[in-house]
Structure 1
């Protein structure tokens, strides 16, 4: 019992520490690479925090569990928008920059629509995968080029704020190492929290189903949650939003088409009628939230969070 409690508490502390350090290193690394922090969030952090989804989906695909893999991808994207973005906005309203509105959301919407068209006929083919990979390359190179252009007009080109002065003399290689170790810390903290929390729950005779729907489900989303929350608390708002949008883009036009490496697959109809529809709706809901104001307000965060929990309850009741 004491061991499980220690794992739970240490996991929480490790998550907070690693998430905070990850953002510190990302901001200074952006200056070294002459890109904006938003690009680091959009590409590097989002891909890093989506690595568990990549591993789970590829393993499931290799074992022929294609529907499990697709469920993992769609569920992760719904969690990112509803739970993580909604929760972070409720804690602190998130200003929305023009890059988020004009480009990042455009790529997210088109990527989601592309996934919808690919899955709508109930077959995910190699051709579908190739189209998605091509769109991912367009997204990556466009974002990189635009970020370097935006960097020249930003204050980051000239100085690093006082909060990061102690890191400015570190080399890009050293920052990359620290950044990588911070990512590992996020994953390790998540695993410790899941391990300690699930065993404590069993000790109190809580059912496996409840454990799976609560401790494990939320625990696997903690790396993205902590990275996004840390960015928001450190006033790196564009990085916070870009991390969520980038993670969703990576999931559906990189991880999903990776399943095409295993050949064409039949998709269960309920993914199309339930989960894919829910993802399309959540993505469309983001449009007025991002475009009607210059920030995601606490009330809008409440709407996102409430929508996710409504979907979560629906899953719980209907399997």
Structure 2
């Protein structure tokens, strides 16, 4: 279920699949990868896989950063962020392959909603559990990139499309920025956190990639079991969509971020979130726009969702650039705003 995404107001008001208010969610969750198991068992296995996968991703990232002699933040902003953004890319390419405007709307809405959840849920939780760091010059540069990516997606909604030229500009900008930060920061001293992963690129890459796979399947099972359990006790599918499905889209980022925070690897925790939001727009929508020769974007996102994304990303970006950092009070404010946003989706 990599196509579990944070449903925006557009999807809940306009789009259905098989007469169900929750897109891509079957009323029978037992058609999944381990459909014969009880929902509680699926939940338990999913949680174990998530925790294990998050640990492997973080430990692999620490070892990669040490071997390359670079800060863990840089690995989080690039390698980890791209890995946790692969679900959104799969959804967009699948939508383009279907050739359905509704499917494209769902995919674009998924990117917008995922970025909202990453900032207002995942980053907020990271702040509250202590993954805050004082902004430095490099973090301020990355915050500026986050604001640029947010501007791109806002521009696409206003124009009603993510055109081919914007896709090319997005990919070029992201590639150029990656080249810049690897050239200017790649020689910095690594954070030198200890890792139980044996030294060597092969061990580090295997741990990292296997961790991503475990996070992927853990997310699937956790949501599959959660949806089945909720349906069995009479919870409506609309409520499921607004809670479990919304939570599910950001589970990869959340698992990696919480694990990194607990391990004290703040670079991976913060870099993963900022980098994932940049990758979601510049890589996912950029590749989608190039593949489809331009993506249509529904104007209905202008009613609420895009402004929530703009304000939340703006608060984070400006706070970092002004030297305020990411603090617990700000995390509490964002998390409260997230719940208000979800409540508004439900009421609407």
TM over 0.5: yes
- Structure 2: give runs of 5+ residues left out of the alignment: 1-35
**1:204 paired residue among 228, 233, 239:** 233
Deviation digits for residues 47-97 of structure 1 (CA, Å, limit 9, x no counterpart): 111111110121112223221111000000000000000112112251134
**1:252 paired residue among 255, 258, 281:** 281
Mapped partners of 2:264, 2:57: distance in 1: 14
**1:25 paired residue among 40, 60, 71:** 60
**2:307 paired residue among 259, 274, 277:** 277
Confirm or deny: 8 A CA contact 2:72 2:267 kept in the other structure.
Answer: yes
- The aligned counterpart of 2:183 is 145
- The aligned counterpart of 1:229 is 258
The alpha-carbon distance between structure 1 residues 131 and 295, as it changes in their structure 2 partners (threshold 3 A), is: closer
The alpha-carbon distance between structure 1 residues 37 and 265, as it changes in their structure 2 partners (threshold 3 A), is: closer
- How many residues matched? 309
Q: What's the C-alpha RMSD, in Å, of the aligned pairs?
A: 1.9
The alpha-carbon distance between structure 1 residues 21 and 267, as it changes in their structure 2 partners (threshold 3 A), is: closer
Confirm or deny: 8 A CA contact 1:93 1:298 kept in the other structure.
Answer: no
Mapped partners of 1:59, 1:94: distance in 2: 36
Confirm or deny: 8 A CA contact 2:167 2:294 kept in the other structure.
Answer: no
Q: Alpha-carbon deviation of 1:3?
A: 2.2
Mapped partners of 2:301, 2:313: distance in 1: 16
Mapped partners of 1:55, 1:93: distance in 2: 29
**2:155 paired residue among 117, 129, 132:** 117
Does residue 296 (structure 1) correspond to residue 331 (structure 2)? The answer is no
- The aligned counterpart of 1:242 is 271
The alpha-carbon distance between structure 1 residues 99 and 60, as it changes in their structure 2 partners (threshold 3 A), is: farther
Mapped partners of 1:9, 1:99: distance in 2: 42
Q: Alpha-carbon deviation of 1:289?
A: 3.1
Does residue 90 (structure 1) correspond to residue 125 (structure 2)? The answer is no
73-82 or 84-93, which moves further after superposition? 84-93
- The aligned counterpart of 2:144 is 106
SS at match of 1:95: coil
Mapped partners of 2:282, 2:37: distance in 1: 43
Q: Which has the higher helix share?
A: 1
- The aligned counterpart of 1:186 is 215
Mapped partners of 1:58, 1:94: distance in 2: 35
Mapped partners of 1:177, 1:53: distance in 2: 23
Q: Alpha-carbon deviation of 1:102?
A: 2.3
The alpha-carbon distance between structure 1 residues 10 and 100, as it changes in their structure 2 partners (threshold 3 A), is: farther
Give TM-score scaled by structure 1 length: 0.90
Q: Alpha-carbon deviation of 1:34?
A: 2.4
Q: Alpha-carbon deviation of 1:100?
A: 4.8
Mapped partners of 1:115, 1:216: distance in 2: 22
SS at match of 1:150: coil
Mapped partners of 1:296, 1:232: distance in 2: 13
Confirm or deny: 8 A CA contact 1:231 1:240 kept in the other structure.
Answer: yes
The alpha-carbon distance between structure 1 residues 99 and 11, as it changes in their structure 2 partners (threshold 3 A), is: farther
